[in-house]
Chains A and B, each alone.
Chain A
């Protein structure tokens, strides 16, 4: 599919003198390389299925994921409730689907926020160097020193009520330093490249140099790290919810569904309550990681271990 238009245009000049040959941009080459990675492509398909299922939750279930029904507490699966009901009598299937929305939204938006903070600070530090760089780097050192979990628990304890937005902020605020360092490092290597000097010689503004010359050439590490970060954040959200410091009940998330299994009775007698959300987390994170690896190989063929 990718090659066809190229083949026709490369024979073009003989047929028609006005034909302009289309080149293959490095990003399209990376995409082509990614498409050859079967594991990564399969992961994209599975992840898409999960996302569609989660987005179209109302098509699969009529139940309200937050509505308790005291007559249905811990019921076994039935035709009406394929995955049974939880300890508050809520439908597990509905919670699995709607909870997926929360887990994915937390992972995705925390990734976007981290990206915004990390890319901005990393670009500034790497581009300007000197004092600005020193200040930003000391700030990242400071943030890296803080134990993530303790910080989360403290903030949650202070705020008492955690919403999705607050959880996203906490995650993004505590995890930007790693990305900042990666972006800064990439910028530092790019800064010595002659094409950056060339852009300066033309009189290109700092902003344009950052957006047109640095970021497109740093897109590989940015995309790869963003993808892997998202997987981490989904796990972080689950972990926090599992110990009760994440998304509070009755809002469903995969993490707080698993926390049901803290009760030995449910762990032993109703695997249908905790295996599906566990599997959902496993599949999502695994797929995202495979996609991340695929992207890394696609952007940087030298890292290919095969």
Chain B
């Protein structure tokens, strides 16, 4: 099948915690009086990717590129339209909610908006205890002990555990979300733009906290962001998404130093640089992100690509391996 799948077979010695195979999530567009499906928004369009145990895989892309949807589909918070999701080699893409429950212990999510991701009617202790109450058989005292130790872990005063979310700042709330996600000792956490709603100074604190926790609990992160410098700070590998597809995926160093895909190049050139002498030329992309309900034929990026040629309109580029772990979906790099 696709090139990457052949690659996967060779790389099976790698210990993958999560694998997505040909994952698709299409949202139907209903129209007309009869509410018939007139089209699809292809939020996630045939994505294959593997996450290695212990790593942080950063996912970047502009808004509307489908990165949040990808995260939610992997966690089965949304039903995939097609494709497989493997968690520790078990296919979870077709499990019922009941069958999923034991897996939920091992995979968690931290959301973007710290003002919407905590139930305003529960106090901090209830919020952190909820996963323990639902998933474990700990008694009341044990749960409270655990909640207190989690609060200390994320740098909040246990004294404030009876306060409510509205009494905390954005950064503190995000710490509460992290404590809640950690409560069940998960192996894999999806961070859905966890710092983009925070002040820059707070961003660094929260990112460092997440990095420390990763070391301490041996966590694997899928880190979704639109900020390239944030992703650079925390990731081991980075995937660039465009219109529901992966444009390029590579170890952080390769991607930031030798970007291959024209889209990645353009993105990186837009990052403000502090290096005055060595200024990169900015590549300004023309136009807007095309509508995901009607993506361009062939390569989705061709409408804005400075290097596009005829073939790009005809054939959809597959991800190809250009160097160790560096994959790019672009016809320019095919032999």
Contacts and interface: CB of A to CB of B under 8 A. Distances in A.
A5 to B, nearest CB: 12
B13 interface: no
Contacts of B121: 25-27, 216-217, 219
A285 B122 CA distance: 34
B105 A23 contact: no
A194 B113 contact: yes
Interface in A63-102: none
Interface stretch (A13-21, A157-165, A166-174, A237-245): A13-21
B109 A198 contact: yes
B119 to A, nearest CB: 5
A204 B123 contact: no
B119 A23 contact: no
Contacts of B77: 197, 200-201
Contact residues of A: prevailing secondary structure: helix
Contacts of A41: none
Contact of B135 (A19, A202, A217): A202
Given A26-B120, A195-B119, A217-B121, A21 B111 contact: no
A95 to B, nearest CB: 45
B261 to A, nearest CB: 31
Given A197-B111, A205-B134, A217 B120 contact: yes
A203 B119 CA distance: 15
A199 interface: yes
Given A26-B164, A217-B121, A20 B159 contact: yes
B161 interface: yes
Contacts of B158: 20
A104 to B, nearest CB: 30
A21 B160 contact: yes
B19 to A, nearest CB: 19
Chain A's interface size range is: 20 to 34
A20 B162 contact: yes
Contacts of A56: none
Interface string B132-159: 0011000000000000000000000011
B131 interface: yes
A197 B71 CA distance: 12
A122 B232 CA distance: 46
Contacts of B180: 198, 202
A204 B130 contact: yes
B163 interface: yes
B173 to A, nearest CB: 11
Given A194-B116, A203-B105, A203-B131, 14 more contacts: A20-B158, A21-B163, A23-B162, A23-B164, A24-B167, A26-B121, A195-B118, A198-B109, A198-B117, A201-B75, A201-B104, A203-B134, A203-B135, A208-B134
The 6 closest A-B pairs by CB, nearest first: A23-B163, A203-B104, A216-B121, A194-B117, A203-B101, A194-B111
10 contacts: A21-B163, A26-B166, A195-B118, A197-B72, A201-B107, A201-B109, A205-B134, A206-B97, A217-B121, A219-B121
